[in-house]
Structure 1
Amino acid sequence: MDIKDVFSAQPKSVWEYLCENGQGLYIPAYQRHYSWDKNKISRLIEDTCHGFSTLVEREDAITFIGTIIAIHDMNMTTVEPAVKGEVPAKVMTIIDGQQRLTTILLINTVLHEEIKIAASKLDRNDDAQDWIHDESMKVVNRLGKTFEEDTNLGDDLFRYYPRMIRSYDDSWSRKQKTASYISPIGHYLHEYGNHSRSTNSKDKFKYETPNINFDKDRYDGLKDARIAIQKIIENITKNNKSDERLEVPKFDLIMESTVFQNILIRTEVPDNVHELLKSDNKRYENLLRIVFFANFVLDRIAITIVTAKNEDYAFDMFESLNTTGEPLTAFETFKPRVVYSEKLAEYKSTPSYSYINQVENYLESFAKTKDKQDATSRLIISFGLAERGKSLSKRLSEQRRFLKDSYEEADVSNIEERRDFLQHLSHNAIFMKKVWTIDKKEKPDLSPIESDVALLCIDFLKKLSHTITIGLLVRYYSQVMKSDAESRNEAISEFISVVKAVTAFSVLWRSSRKTTDGIDSIYRDLMYSGHSNSDGSIKLEPIARHRNSLALPKADTLKKALIDKLKEKGGISCKEDWVKQVSYNPIYSTKSIVARFLLLASAHDNVIDESNPGLTKIGKKGVLPLFNFRTWNDDSSQTVEHIAPQSKSTDWLATIYESPDTINKLGNLTLLPSLENSSIGNGSWQKKKLMYKILSTETLDNLNQLMLEAKNEGMIISESTTKILDQSSYLPMVKSIARVEGAWTKEIIEERTVRIADLAWQHIAPWLNIEV
């Protein structure tokens, strides 16, 4: 394959591109409607005026307005609906540049109208005025060919084809009964073209929206743009100095420069016209000025036309060029395929419409374009894993291709399979909107699932940014969404079990190593290939929907596979293996959120171990219920506090700092509210121990006694810290630390690390059906 067969690039003027015989410009359905505001329109015309003014001094002056990316649709695959035998010979489907092209077409129609009306008021019996009239009509005729083409055949008003129309809304046809122009640009060009050829064309065109029953607001953008362009063109015509941004050359310079005149009108202004222009009537000067400007627009506005072989190559080109336009998301380019598949007339009554709406409800919740693009990318990446076990990148072209190919892989006759695909996508979007919210502080909405432990786990995974798990969770969440009253409870139970199992596996894995160590690959393998062990006793089918023709694997089977992964790849076959690995790991420096989760789990329902100062042990059920969503999100457990501070200090034993890992191990960490953590800071062990005593005291009398002891021992506690301590809640998690006698040592840190890991295991391991 030659590169030239994939795409070609040609520089062209507006005239050369828009007036190519038999060419129609086609806006696919996924393109956004016209949305340029006054500022963008002004910028394009200002750039044009700059080039226009520069031409007086430099005969090579042009205005370059960027690249247009299009597909030459030789097989009419993008034209829908298409009237057979009526489609232009060359259809160019616009992938990038429709906003600029629409603006140029609007400018050309406004120039066409202004010049034609002004020329109609000239006296043709006067030779000088007759010359101006002829030059005016020359450019009027040229402008007319840019926004419509005469096919020389057909019903009176319909032999003229608008140069640009939009998919679904419009159809080119020479016959009135099959032609349709109801999109903003299609309708406008058709209506203005008819007006310009009518007997009342000397009157101003009044643009009226078509008589339809839907979405009339989309016409407002084009109407407003036309009004803005009319005002700017009027300022150029009259050389209105109030708009300093418009660089219009002095008329005397235009009249003096025969080079300028020959470039734009291919002749020189005759002497009798020069004489006419000396009169006080500015209308001749104004008309000539706008005639020159219109010719500059046609011949000296330059664009590069990149023509791609197909849509995939066109979008690749669009991304690579990094144009200033806002790229369409993969979903925006995908939706029209669904509409086409379901047939436009029936689409709104199909399940696909509901599924697409659910996806749009999620994506439209993002007000900023960049946020919406990022949300779409996250959605499709997670859906790629859930649907096919496929690892997608953030490249738009890859995501577009995935949606297109996956959807169209099912034969068009098998519409239910395509709808199943869309339903799964919609469940993924609902999960992202309600459960895996972009705001990490927002509480996940698991309805109709009621489970505190599932809330805790989901919130932890979300704050861990453990997005690799979304695809797997969505598979079981989708089962809940699809379930009926009879199967709902079982589906919910399965989902909760899976959430707990995934959380347990990820916590045990991440806490036992300094890096992620391939955990993403493990989840991808489970989605794409499933898992089976060497002796065949464990058989997990692929979890991705399209990879598995059987029922979704049971949660218990997934748990067995995860346990086997811990043994096979993680070197963890029992509690002792895991505790040993955790005891070597500086967990705070690898992932502090994992440390916070383990600290909270280890503190749940524990009591002081009186025989081992600094340690705790399992107590009676309900004695200290901490491992829940409320405590996880309560301020009391929001920050991880280093007992021996990270910065080495003479107030602490030097042995603690012999290894840089020691201070970041579990045994040197605890949980504190953010204010208390900041207040305690990097104080000495003596001061911190007192603070822990104060924070874990159960009565106000004890609090006052401890504050008095501190004062008697000469310990200075600032007024702000005193206020924080007075107002702080009871914090039982630091009580055991306050019981340590003597110095805080490396040995205590090591012992405490092992004990915390042991206690956490007893709460987390059962989520994988591991007996403790």
Structure 2
Amino acid sequence: MPTEAKDIFEAHSRSLRELLSENGLGLYLPPYQRPYGWSRDKVDKLIDDTLHGLRNLGDMPDSFTFLGTVITIHDINHVTIQPVVKTEVPAKVLTVIDGQQRLSTLLMLVVCLHNQIRQSHWRVFKGKAPDPEDSGLTNLHEETVVLLKAMGSAFYEKQQIGDSPIYPRLIRAFQDQWAKKLKQSQYYSPIAHLVYNYAKLVDSEENIIKKPTDFRPKPRENVGYGEADLVKRFSEMRNTLIRLVRGKPMEEFEELPLVSVLAEKVDLQRALFNHPLDEEFCDWMRKLDESAAESELVRLVMLGAYVLNRIALTVVKGKDEDYAFTIFESLNTTGEPLTAFETFLPRVVMAEGLSDYQESDAHRYMLAVQDHLSRFPVGDRLQSATRELLVTFALAETGTKLSKRLADQRVYMKEAFDRYKDSADERECFLRHLRDTATFVGSSWDPGDEPRHLAGLDAAAMTDTVKLCLGFLHDLNHSVVIAPLVRFYSEALYAGDDRRKKTAEFEEALKAITAFTVFWRATRRSTGNIDSEYREAMAGASLTGMPPLARQRRLSDGTLPAPVVDINALKAELVARLEDVKHGDIPNLATFVARASAIPLYKVSRPLTRFLLLAAYHDSVEDPEHPGLIKHGKVGASPCLTAEGWSDEIHLTIEHVAPQVATSGWDETFYAEKDGVHKLGNLVLAPSGANSSLSSRPWQEKRVLYRALGASSSDEARSLLQQAEANGMSFAQSTEELTELSHYLPHLRALGQRMESWDVAFMEQRAACLLRLAYARLGPWLGLTWSESEDASLVIAAFEDLEGEEELDSEEELGT
């Protein structure tokens, strides 16, 4: 028989009294729930919404303050409860999947009101029963006592036996435990500790005629997240209630109704107390001074009754955690769902054993992951960071292309980890790999404001080339490469005596991946589905016979081959993919040059364009035989393919030689072809500060500026600029400003040496020159040995036929 919706979940609206005061009920916060973290603004809004609802109740007796949906599961078998004394657990336990912040705040509000009502009751009655003849005071005393009892049952339940009979309604996994024996009970979490201590105080003073103790909790030391916030919110709540009850105006809150309003409106009485008040009591209230202590107590009783009876929530009970999370995701509009890592963490704790977890390696690994994710505030940024981390981890761990959907990520982490439930060693390898992934992402890929480093490896491992390549790939938003890089990084971490060798192999892998990405992307108007190439290599769909690079990849035939993290195998695989006709289809240098020359790279990806130009310019000098072009020079002649060169975009940014928009003085054929001016041959790296002077001026003026900006000395730059001004040229900046911007830049100096016009033919010649220089620099990183064996014009024609067939890879954003 098919499962019906009613078998998966049920939903009922409940007042706070109906939800919390049920006999034998316990609310349980699983360990993945975040610490208490509501801000004062949120608490103030809850109080103001409550006050607004109370005032409206006088005119609209059907009014409620609705506080949304609470998602729970009814844990009949106590499978979510750790630690547990099973014989002493409340009869009905609801595990809270969503709504713990609201429930914790509401419990604090009930406790705070209960405390204030006790204090106010003492000020009126001084611990003595009222004269039975005094109908007003007698009714007030009785209504107060009944309300206090009802409120008390909302935040705790007292067991019939045991030396620790006080059960807080809400406790948290691992920190708290319901038990009737003092040696077994523990209420250490911030909310359970606060409720338990107040409940004990109330219980101990129940039959003692003395002024009740005013409950003012203080934050404990070394309790962790949530304690200080929760205690501070309680203190602020207490001060707010005192001011409101005493009738002191507060701009951010509505005022409490006057006592006379309660006396006059029978519908309001019924809504608050479920019955009309005695008429003599109403007459007595009509005569009360609104500033009297009795009036303060009446207002507190009104507010307490409203909180219990007119604050409502919809309680949804799911069949199990998976269904509950699915329900939460579909219903949630204002809350923030738990990340897939937060719901995975308790599985790790349970697998290790509660008593052993704190001292385990698993705990250290999980702390490292938490440390990485703690950089991101709860909300979209944390969700995004967690999604990206788990997508990368799944690819590195099992070669899986994991969806970014929260439900899919939860299922993957659960099922992948559960495969190792019978092997402590395999569990450790899984968690360690997750830690390595998070560490690499947080320290090497995107360290925020911190400098990049390879955590766990020698400082020397972070070479200039490593910084350069990581910076480029990150700016390209090419996150799919993190997974293969993590595999080499992880190998280096645990290499022992071979660490130096494995660290060098990590750098070799990074260079090979960078070169492959540049050659692939430079020959396509889109990403060319490059992500799939890396995923297939991770998953074992190899062109060269390379085993899966992923740590644990089960093939279609059911076998689980040992992963091979081998730099030579990776290079051979990437080369094969670059050259194979069904993949990269770039068999030789002529093909690469022809295709990349035809691409408007500036429109495709600016980071890619900058990297290609830097690779071409690196240690190059002017070519005197071909004015306007450059050639390889000696080592150190003009280093720019460096980490500093990559990050220094202010001094070297992309500039169009022929302007992007047609102006007089430029060959019209540049603009006959759409995006023709965005091809590599028309692009140059120049100091960004000179943009206003370069602008759209004619070529013969522009080349003078290029020569000056790339001059070998300040004196040469100044002399060139002064001569140009003497010939009638004017600049947007002063000679001294432009001289300050000048550096020895052979690629600019070379452009200034071209006396002929700037035309399409020369642009194509220059593009071929730059691409060959870039290939000579990057080809060895991948182990390429391309030859020039194909006619370039035939390659261009074939490539133009393919352009319309390419599609954007939806998994990766183009670099900007």
User: TM-score, structure 1 length as denominator?
Assistant: 0.93
Q: Contact conserved, 1:116 with 1:202, CA < 8 A, in 2?
A: no
One of 555, 562, 581 as aligned partner of 1:550: 562
Amino acid of the residue matched to residue 182 of structure 1? Y
Q: Which residue of 2 aligns with 1:511?
A: 522
Q: CA deviation at 1:727?
A: 4.4
Identity of aligned residues (%): 36
CA distance in 2: counterparts of 1:745 and 1:653, whole angstroms: 6
Judged with a 3 Å threshold, the aligned counterparts in structure 2 of structure 1 residues 213 and 583 are, in CA distance, closer, same or farther, namely closer
What's the secondary structure of 2:88's corresponding residue?
Answer: coil
One of 748, 751, 769 as aligned partner of 1:755: 769
What's the secondary structure of 1:540's corresponding residue?
Answer: coil
One of 479, 485, 493 as aligned partner of 1:481: 493
Amino acid of the residue matched to residue 528 of structure 1? A
Q: Which residue of 2 aligns with 1:72?
A: 74
Residue 182 (str. 1) matches residue 188 (str. 2): yes
Q: Contact conserved, 2:16 with 2:311, CA < 8 A, in 1?
A: yes
Q: CA deviation at 1:466?
A: 0.7
1:56-455 matched pairs, under 5 angstroms:
56-119=58-121, 121=125, 122-128=129-135, 129-151=137-159, 153-158=160-165, 160-198=166-204, 199-200=207-208, 203-205=211-213, 214-215=222-223, 218-242=226-250, 245-277=253-285, 278=287, 280=289, 282-366=292-376, 370-411=380-421, 413-437=422-446, 439=448, 443=452, 447-448=457-458, 449-455=461-467
Q: Which residue of 2 aligns with 1:39?
A: 41
Q: Which residue of 2 aligns with 1:565?
A: 577
Deviations 1:402-434 (A, max 9, x none): 3233222212x4122111111111111221122
Judged with a 3 Å threshold, the aligned counterparts in structure 2 of structure 1 residues 212 and 728 are, in CA distance, closer, same or farther, namely closer
Judged with a 3 Å threshold, the aligned counterparts in structure 2 of structure 1 residues 749 and 442 are, in CA distance, closer, same or farther, namely farther
Q: Which deviates more, 513-522 or 375-384?
A: 375-384
Amino acid of the residue matched to residue 45 of structure 2? R
Amino acid of the residue matched to residue 331 of structure 1? F
1:634-713 matched pairs, under 5 angstroms:
634-635=648-649, 638-713=652-727
CA distance in 1: counterparts of 2:718 and 2:298, whole angstroms: 93
CA distance in 1: counterparts of 2:233 and 2:381, whole angstroms: 27
Q: CA deviation at 1:510?
A: 0.4
Q: CA deviation at 1:192?
A: 2.0
Q: Contact conserved, 2:216 with 2:235, CA < 8 A, in 1?
A: no
What's the secondary structure of 1:697's corresponding residue?
Answer: coil
CA distance in 2: counterparts of 1:523 and 1:203, whole angstroms: 73
Q: Contact conserved, 2:115 with 2:215, CA < 8 A, in 1?
A: no
Q: CA deviation at 1:507?
A: 0.3
RMSD (Å), alpha carbons:
2.5
One of 19, 22, 25 as aligned partner of 2:24: 22
Q: Contact conserved, 2:551 with 2:563, CA < 8 A, in 1?
A: no
Q: CA deviation at 1:213?
A: 8.0
Q: Contact conserved, 2:249 with 2:255, CA < 8 A, in 1?
A: no
What's the secondary structure of 1:59's corresponding residue?
Answer: coil
Q: Contact conserved, 1:527 with 1:542, CA < 8 A, in 2?
A: yes
Amino acid of the residue matched to residue 697 of structure 2? G
CA distance in 2: counterparts of 1:168 and 1:201, whole angstroms: 38
Q: Contact conserved, 2:179 with 2:185, CA < 8 A, in 1?
A: yes
Structure 2 spans left out of the alignment, 5+ residues: 554-559, 787-816
Residue 746 (str. 1) matches residue 795 (str. 2): no
Q: Which residue of 1 aligns with 2:731?
A: 717
CA distance in 1: counterparts of 2:653 and 2:16, whole angstroms: 62
Q: Which residue of 2 aligns with 1:461?
A: 473
Judged with a 3 Å threshold, the aligned counterparts in structure 2 of structure 1 residues 700 and 79 are, in CA distance, closer, same or farther, namely closer
What's the secondary structure of 1:303's corresponding residue?
Answer: strand
Q: CA deviation at 1:584?
A: 1.4
Judged with a 3 Å threshold, the aligned counterparts in structure 2 of structure 1 residues 322 and 201 are, in CA distance, closer, same or farther, namely farther
Q: Which residue of 2 aligns with 1:535?
A: none
Q: CA deviation at 1:636?
A: 7.5
Amino acid of the residue matched to residue 311 of structure 1? E
Amino acid of the residue matched to residue 508 of structure 1? F
Q: Which residue of 1 aligns with 2:588?
A: 574
Q: Which deviates more, 246-255 or 134-143?
A: 246-255
Structure 1 spans left out of the alignment, 5+ residues: 533-537
Q: Contact conserved, 2:687 with 2:741, CA < 8 A, in 1?
A: no
Q: Which deviates more, 645-654 or 633-642?
A: 633-642
Q: Contact conserved, 1:28 with 1:167, CA < 8 A, in 2?
A: yes
1:596-615 matched pairs, under 5 angstroms:
596-615=610-629
Query: Between Structure 1 and Structure 2, how many residues are aligned?
Result: 763
Q: Which deviates more, 627-636 or 467-476?
A: 627-636
Deviations 1:92-146 (A, max 9, x none): 1112111111121122223333334544615143341222222222222211211
CA distance in 2: counterparts of 1:701 and 1:246, whole angstroms: 74
Q: CA deviation at 1:589?
A: 1.0
Judged with a 3 Å threshold, the aligned counterparts in structure 2 of structure 1 residues 499 and 203 are, in CA distance, closer, same or farther, namely same
CA distance in 2: counterparts of 1:322 and 1:16, whole angstroms: 23
CA distance in 2: counterparts of 1:595 and 1:156, whole angstroms: 75
Judged with a 3 Å threshold, the aligned counterparts in structure 2 of structure 1 residues 100 and 715 are, in CA distance, closer, same or farther, namely same
CA distance in 2: counterparts of 1:210 and 1:589, whole angstroms: 60
Q: Which residue of 1 aligns with 2:545?
A: 539
Q: Contact conserved, 1:605 with 1:621, CA < 8 A, in 2?
A: yes
Q: Which residue of 1 aligns with 2:781?
A: 767
Q: Contact conserved, 1:182 with 1:210, CA < 8 A, in 2?
A: no
CA distance in 1: counterparts of 2:768 and 2:77, whole angstroms: 70
Q: CA deviation at 1:341?
A: 2.1
Q: Contact conserved, 1:69 with 1:306, CA < 8 A, in 2?
A: yes
One of 522, 527, 534 as aligned partner of 2:533: 522
Q: Contact conserved, 2:83 with 2:354, CA < 8 A, in 1?
A: no
Q: CA deviation at 1:371?
A: 3.6
Q: CA deviation at 1:90?
A: 1.6
Q: Contact conserved, 1:187 with 1:210, CA < 8 A, in 2?
A: no
What's the secondary structure of 1:398's corresponding residue?
Answer: helix
CA distance in 2: counterparts of 1:164 and 1:307, whole angstroms: 17
Q: CA deviation at 1:585?
A: 1.0
Q: Contact conserved, 2:552 with 2:563, CA < 8 A, in 1?
A: no
Q: Contact conserved, 2:120 with 2:296, CA < 8 A, in 1?
A: no
Q: Which deviates more, 513-522 or 103-112?
A: 103-112
CA distance in 2: counterparts of 1:491 and 1:202, whole angstroms: 75
Judged with a 3 Å threshold, the aligned counterparts in structure 2 of structure 1 residues 205 and 403 are, in CA distance, closer, same or farther, namely farther
What's the secondary structure of 2:275's corresponding residue?
Answer: coil
Q: Contact conserved, 1:236 with 1:290, CA < 8 A, in 2?
A: no
